[in-house]
Structure 1
């Protein structure tokens, strides 16, 4: 048979399927996950009792499954179809933790690397961004050294997230993968002090800056310089490293985010008997997660939502009180931060300490020569796609770039930086095909089925509030196997392969119609058995949300094949088709009956 020449009209109709078919569209959860974890895949494996397969699937994307199962802000859950329909999203993070805690076996960890390469890479910071970059580049065969100012790994996950949320042995266990695969760690080494940034740039072929936001912020209100005024970053670091802090019996925390909640709950555990949380936002508008606020209140934290600071009151140079006033609005008509207050509604809190949890900044002082451009908060100016600085072999990831807020986003930035470094070494285009790195909007469109009902989300077990404030033991105890299987069974398995469910023939030859027609457009070829296997029933079209006339496309191909084969069937031994083609649609073999009125 001669090579088929496809008319433009036929090609355009195939291209329409390729451009708009949703068969390859990732579920909402997977597209929203900055690391593109196959959420639907591992959740349904758990639902089937295949827990070992589930953790192996998770580890294809994440080297910190137990860590993230505890502390991830899980943006995937916000895009879950059950959240949209019933306000009860899948407990995705808790399911990840279940698989990791119970079925993760270090013997199964992937320690393979590509052929060793000569280039050396320095990573500044052992937080999630730096660790992910180091892991990905080591897998590529590069020599990677991580420099960390602290004596422990984990970055802000380690010294910013309290131990009652993330036990430290979990971090150490999961980070051991990096050492096992050959990443070198130099702990207790401060760049700019122990080693100059200049020498680092000269001694290594590339540098990735992933220093995190380890610098606390204090608002310069009256009294901010009194003894007893603290910032959240320093407080949480000291508590994380020692489980102790010399703090008063009554304290106030300023801030409405998760860090403020962590400070308040940690303060209870190091001896504070009365903890006030003061934030500008009303409770529904607080940036902290709802469950974090609820757990704090269960532990006796006193919430003053809708209040802002006036001044810190002092006595003999020491904090003795905190005056606050009612906040009536946080943002102005243009959406800018511009709080307005009711000056007639004020109160003074009797406290010994005031802790500011109102933001963090990056300590960029290691760049003593000022070679790199910086932006607000001490962060570094980078190309938003490549994370490259104006120095071609220096890249930035995580908090230091100002482009990530949560751990999973920092990891995605670490991966992005690693991709850029690899391309840099190989003289490849740094910008090509990078639109799907990090979270993105899926092109999937699905609706609930008639039999989809609101099934309540299963909650994990937690320790009693009265007992948990006495120590830093883990608060959340996770799922039992029965709970995990039941929760996993709530998944709606969001996808669009309705045509594949209606047509066995399509399932034999492709993952979805897009794959099939994309290959035809790319190669100009298709096995004749494929278009001739279609029985022209239109069930695929009836099921398709886009109403693609797939049978018509197969008929187009059949006609072109016959034309290219001098009017004969392209399938060997298919002579009967010639009779069918001649007579099958003639009046002799067909009858027509008028439709009933």
Structure 2
């Protein structure tokens, strides 16, 4: 048994060691993809290994490689120091496009559990939930109002950003696993929500935000005024939408950019985009704004809608006014305007891209709690509603804004459903689901070079507005290798690089001392293998004196073993020491007196 002092010293290392801390990118990814590992594989030219690592967590690698908002890149150490983050999404896309072999997809499914789960909505949240539950052995059926899969990802993201064959290919995994799809089935019309509940053991609501919002300014009811959701859906499904030659788009987010850029592809000559924010504070990604401007979209930042005028019931003009502030002192949305600076634009259409809502009309609102925007009230940990066997994920919960977050919620809901149906605690051990802050602390050394981020190849703006062909052409192999080489491979295992002995017994010190504390004892070979060189301490960012703790353990072991080493091999040393001081192995020389005589 180890003394309390030694246990305390070990516990200090367990609590402070960063050897198991995930890199910043992995912790920030809602799905916790092992970015460091697959980027390293790409840098080594091991592309099949890279896509295998990605598919351990993501079933939509090519999709996410194109449209993911990549929060992982925002926490990249190169972004923090050089404002040049790794092009993580583009690297994911490279291996997905060229090395994703469906013959190697993991189709393992646990034995059938005899229970059925319904998922309402075939978007990324619903698909992820269905995938995870099917692999757990449940019979899963997806009910989808549209006749195609993908949800808002398909009818809300233009084809020039996400080709539809990519979605269909990657959703093929669900078909191969045996997930049943009922497309073109509208819950509340073709089948009631209550009937689905009665015929299934659990239900996950994963409907997208398919309802557009129109600001009720003067003239908003005129013909020719639309909202982004209807516009993008129609364009996605048919490639058409009746627009004039001059239009106005209201909104400064990515959806507004999608609307404006799609309109240009439909032949609109003048697309004026108005947003309340200044250009540097627009919620849209900077590259989306740049690409929109490259395609001829005219951006009027810092202006909001005043009114729409019309003739014969149809919109003919749009008046805007200068916005001098968007939020009040408390950070709440409360725009203020300069009433003396107004401008009128002659337009034939106005499209609102200012927000979306969830259509929750298919449920009985007296049975289930609905919040603002049609979203469902859920437990933040389990995503369970007030109806015991009903869970929610994605847009329907109001807790996710991007595809990767929706997928993470789908996984979260699936975990809850599995635990619910198995009669297990639904809240235990769920601290690290979704994005979280890693406990890793690293510094970029002065000798690290500021290597520019490699940009993907793109179609010429004058050519791309002629159709909906994909704009971003991705990386070549050479570019992917160059970009992967920029990765700093963030981790804290400096001691492991200095000590061969530690590598014999653990992956990092925390793992070793956790094991010792759990077992309550330690194999003597471990502390006696340390040569007390202190190199681990010199390399440790937290200056943990691991060698001193090993010495403490040694002393305690020797003391408890009556002053002898607890290692069998050390008996020979004891004999050597005993003999080394015996008369048999020593000679005695008489002392010499001052006169040099014996």
TM-score class, shorter = over 0.9
CA distance in 2, matches of 1:576, 1:81: 53
Matches within 5 A, 1:515-526: 515-526=511-522
Structure 2: runs of 5 or more not aligned:
581-598
SS at match of 1:170: helix
> Structure 1, residues 152-205: CA drift from partner, whole Å, max 9, x if none?
000111000000000000000000100100100000001011110011111100
Q: Structure 1 residue 44 and structure 2 residue 40: aligned?
A: yes
Match of 2:428 among 426, 432, 435: 432
Aligned to 1:559, which of 555, 558, 578? 555
**Cα deviations by residue, 1:296-347 (Å, 9 ceiling, x for unpaired):** 0000000000111100111111010110011111011111111111111111
2:2–2:521 contact (8 Å) kept in structure 1: no
User: Cα offset for 1:376?
Assistant: 1.1
Q: Secondary structure at the match of 2:339?
A: strand
SS of the equivalent of 1:499 reads helix
| Alpha-carbon distance change, 410 to 568 in structure 1, aligned in 2, over 3 angstroms | same
Residue in structure 2 matching 1:194, options 170, 190, 211: 190
Q: Tell me the secondary structure at the aligned position of residue 223 of structure 1.
A: coil
- Matched with 2:593 is none
Q: Which of the pair has more CA radius of gyration?
A: 2
Match of 1:315 among 311, 314, 320: 311
Do structure 1's residue 327 and structure 2's residue 323 form an aligned pair?
A: yes
CA contact (8 A) 1:34 1:408 kept: yes
From 432, 448, 454, the counterpart of 1:452: 448
Q: 1:354 aligns with which of 328, 350, 353?
A: 350
Matched, 1:56 2:52: yes
1:250 is matched with which residue? 246
From 201, 214, 217, the equivalent of 2:213 is 217
Task: Report if aligned partners of 2:117, 2:203 keep a CA contact under 8 Å in 1.
Answer: yes
Q: Distance in 1 between the 2:573 and 2:233 partners?
A: 78
- SS at structure 2 position matched to 1:371: coil
C-alpha separation in 1, matches of 2:557 and 2:313: 92
Q: What are the equivalent positions in structure 2 for 1:88-237 lying under 5 Å apart?
A: 88-237=84-233
Q: Give the match for residue 383 of structure 1.
A: 379
Asked if 1 retains the 8 angstrom alpha-carbon contact of 2:133 and 2:140, the reply is yes
Which of 276, 280, 285 is the equivalent residue of 1:284?
280
**What is the CA distance between 1:580 and its match in structure 2?**
9.7
Aligned residue pairs, count: 580
Q: How does 1:374-413 map to 2 (within 5 A)?
A: 374-413=370-409
Q: Is the 8 A contact 2:212 2:229 kept in 1?
A: yes
Aligned to 1:273: 269
* Pair 582,397 (structure 1): closer, same or farther in 2 beyond 3 Å: farther
Give, in angstroms, the shift of residue 368 of structure 1.
3.3
Cα contact 1:320–1:350 (8 A) shared by 2: yes
* Alignment partners' CA distance in 2, 1:131 and 1:122: 11
Note the alpha carbon deviations across 1:574-593, whole angstroms, 9 max, x for none. Answer: 12554899999xxxxxxxxx
Does structure 2 conserve the Cα–Cα contact (< 8 Å) formed by 1:192 and 1:368?
no
CA RMSD of aligned residues (A): 1.4
Q: What residue in structure 1 maps to residue 294 of structure 2?
A: 298
Moved more, 547-556 or 479-488: 547-556
- Where does residue 565 of structure 2 map in the other structure? 569
Deviations 1:359-398 (A, max 9, x none): 0000000003531101111100000000000111000000
Mean CA deviation greater in 171-180 or 5-14? 5-14
- Structure 1 pair 307/369, CA: closer, same or farther in 2 (3 Å)? closer
Counterparts of 1:579 and 1:448 in 2: how far apart (Å)?
52
3-state SS of paired residue (2:426): coil
Partners of 1:489 and 1:529 lie apart in 2 by 40
1:490 aligned onto 2:489: no
Question: Could you say which residue in structure 1 is the equivalent of 2:594?
Answer: none
Q: Which runs of 4+ in 1 moved over 4 A?
A: 576-584
Deviation at 1:47, TM superposition (A): 0.6
1:72, 1:408 within 8 Å by CA — same for their partners in 2?
yes
Matched, 1:507 2:503: yes
- Relative distance call for 1:161 and 1:530 in structure 2 (3 A) is same
Structure 2 residue 537 is the aligned partner of structure 1 residue 541:
yes
- For 2:297 and 2:94, locate their aligned partners in 1 and report how far apart those are by CA, in whole Å: 29
Is the contact made by 2:113 and 2:138 (CA closer than 8 Å) also made in structure 1? yes
Deviations 1:493-548 (A, max 9, x none): 10001111111111121110000000001111322211111100111111111110
Aligned to 2:363: 367
Q: Residues of 2 paired with 1:209 and 1:155: CA distance? A: 13
> CA separation of 1:532/1:254 partners in 2, compared to 1, >3 Å: closer, same or farther?
same
Partners of 2:280 and 2:102 in 1: CA distance: 42
Sort the Cα spacing of 1:577 and 1:449 in 2 relative to 1 into closer, same or farther, 3 A: farther
Aligned partner of 1:594 in structure 2 is none
Deviation track 1:46-81 (CA, whole Å, cap 9, x = no partner) reads: 011001100011000000000000000000000000
Q: CA deviation at 1:36?
A: 0.1
Are 1:78 and 2:74 counterparts?
yes
Aligned to 1:593: none
Cα gap change, 1:582 to 1:373, in 2 (>3 Å): farther
Matched residue, 2:589: none
Normalization by structure 2: what TM-score?
0.96
CA distance in 2 between partners of 1:479 and 1:72 (Å): 16
Match of 1:589?
Answer: none
